Chain A
Amino acid sequence: MTVLDVRPSTTRLLYGLAGTGADLTTHLATHGPLPVPSRLRPQWQEAVLHEVESSGLTGRGGAGFPAYRKMRAARRSGPGAVLLVNAMEGEPASGKDEYLLTFAPHLVLDGAELVALAVGASTVVICVPAERRAQIADLKRALGQRLSLPYERPNCRVKALPGHYVSGEESALVSAVAGKESVPQFHPDKSVGLRLGRQPVLVHNAETLGHVALICRHGAHWFRQVGAPEAPGTSLVTISGAVRQPGILEVETGLPLGDMIAAARPVPDVQAVLVGGYGGTWVSARNLSVPFGPQSLKAVGASMGAGVLFVLARGSCGLFETEIIARYLAGEGAGQCGPCLFGLPAIADDLALIVRGQPQPRDLERLRTRCGLVAGRGACGHPDGAARLVNSALGVFQGDANYHMRFGPCPGCRLPATAPVPSRFTRKVEPA
């Protein structure tokens, strides 16, 4: 992955990156010392929480929840909480957290230690997919360098966990850290916090913590100087698909989608962009002037999600690409909840019939019904995401659906699929 450049924009998290993982000395020279007193005082803790609250920082892992609320809840639950740094990044089309942890590990670790100290958490666990061996070694080395920092640090360790699509879902993460299966837990009352044994747990996305590190250095006012008012600051996005230069981009929120993908040098004729992730929303190329912010994206049924932008060229079949992704999502469920376990494969089968056969209007109707049937009926939001993806495809690629109903598979279906999923899902449609 390369870092892309877009103007006008602001580099904050990615400021001063030299293309290698910065050591602690370089990091401190770039961003300045971490403002932590040598002895913790409640006034300082309160000031950190206040600054994060005033900054308006929202979580960058997908849900966009205000960061300070999680911190307040953890502080209220008393000392001894555990902070989980969520770098699981199960979205195949996302690479921003991995990138940030590789090239600016100390920024994330600064944020993690600040949050832990501010809420009175005694332990920080940095959760990384087990297959990223080199990154795990780098993080351990980075933690070693931090022993020299002049304040009393929380106990920090790196935990290698099985990586899969829902492994970053908060309750699945907590379960995995507890040494149990990495699957979501049924917790209908979201006001009751998650626990690791007896200890209250606080989960923050890695990028979110990088922003905390900068907010504590430069202040909430500085943070809010750029970006959409309801989700200010900058955000990391991963751009892939029909672009000549896929990569990671740091943008001010509120930038039009079209300006963002322009940085990745897209093909001349863009058909649509998948925004948010695989459980996200297709946005038609007609709507590329929509700003990348929660409220403006809501108007086109989308959300910022984890900052994934997957570009689809005109000539590709959006329904075919959606079928590939839906099949992948069907296989990535935790296998616990019936509506997801049976519904998602049924949805993928419906799409396969539409893409590969000669569908009737009733086939589309059944698919819509099934999407409505699975949403909201899982322990986590996985089925909701799949339904959102497919529903948006049926809207944006209505023209493709009409073609398929009249003539069967379209020329675009015979092209190789472009959505990044493991190769076993990318079977082409064979010519009849």
Chain B
Amino acid sequence: MRLQVDPSACDGFGFCIDLLGELLAGDEWGFPIVKQANVPPELDSYARQAVKACPRKALQLVPQRA
């Protein structure tokens, strides 16, 4: 799976950055930067938790691009 952030939905709560610091970083305004979009299998469950934790449903897990 692949991570993507809907920037128009994201309000910068930052929970995802705390939960998934391996793949996400915060910018100076607290909005997530996707460091690595591809989720390795060992981080899969953490990624799902981060997605669930987003109050705006802005963090999304989508299938890999063909």
Contacts and interface: CB of A to CB of B under 8 A. Distances in A.
Interface in B39-66: 62
B29 A186 contact: no
| Among A186, A340, A342, residue most surrounded by chain B Cβ atoms (within 10 Å) | A186
A377 interface: yes
B21 interface: no
Nearest to B34: A377
A338 B6 contact: no
B29 A343 contact: yes
Interface string A332-350: 0010111110110010000
A6 interface: no
A336 B8 CA distance: 5
Nearest to B65: A189
B7 A339 contact: yes
Contacts, number: 43
A353 to B, nearest CB: 16
Contacts of A188: 4, 62
B7 A379 contact: yes
Nearest to A380: B8
A338 B4 contact: no
Nearest to A343: B29
B11 interface: yes
B6 A379 contact: yes
B33 A338 contact: no
Nearest to B27: A373
| Among B4, B7, B33, residue most surrounded by chain A Cβ atoms (within 10 Å) | B7
A339 B27 CA distance: 8
Contacts of A184: 8
A135 interface: no
A185 interface: yes
Bin chain B's interface residue count.
10 to 19
A378 interface: yes
Interface in B11-52: 11-12, 27-31, 33
Contact of A379 (B8, B11, B29): B8
A337 B7 contact: yes
A343 B28 CA distance: 9
Contacts of B8: 183-186, 334, 336-337, 378-379
Contact of B29 (A183, A185, A334, A338): A338
B7 A336 contact: yes
A336 B56 CA distance: 13
Contacts of B29: 338-339, 342-343
Interface string A307-344: 00000000000000000000000000010111110110
Given A338-B11, A339-B27, A377 B33 contact: yes
A378 B27 contact: no
A4 B19 CA distance: 59
Nearest to B60: A188
A378 B29 CA distance: 14
Nearest to B4: A188
Contacts of B9: 186
B4 A377 contact: no
A386 to B, nearest CB: 15
Nearest to B9: A186
Given A334-B8, A339-B31, 12 more contacts: A188-B62, A336-B7, A337-B7, A337-B8, A338-B29, A342-B29, A343-B27, A373-B28, A377-B7, A377-B31, A378-B8, A379-B7
**Nearest 7 A-B pairs (CB), nearest first?**
A337-B7, A338-B31, A336-B8, A342-B29, A379-B8, A186-B6, A186-B8
7 contacts: A183-B8, A186-B9, A188-B4, A338-B31, A340-B7, A346-B28, A379-B7
